[in-house]
Amino acid sequence: MAQARAYDDLSTTQLGDMLKQAQRDQLSHPVPVLRVREIDRWASSKDKDE
């Protein structure tokens, strides 16, 4: 999760945001650390079916 936060922190600068966009444009799937973050958010949510 610390890696996901660090990745998100890159967006605080224009250069960091541009680097993230350039990386995302080359991928067919989301960056793995972001997939983990989304799974964690889903698992923590009250909206999921139990």
| pTM as predicted | 0.56
Encoded amino acid at 46, one letter = K
Distance CA 2, CA 37 (A): 10
Contact 30, 6 (CB under 8 A): no
pLDDT confidence of residue 15: 92
User: What does the radius of gyration of the chain's CA atoms come to, in whole angstroms?
Assistant: 13
- For residue 47, is pLDDT > 80? no
The domain locations on the chain are 2-44
Q: Percent helix, strand, coil in the chain (nearest 5)?
A: 70, 0, 30
Distance CA 5, CA 34 (A): 9
- For residue 50, is pLDDT > 70? no
pLDDT digits (tens, 9 = 90+) for 3-46: 888 888 888 889 988 988 888 888 888 788 888 888 888 888 87
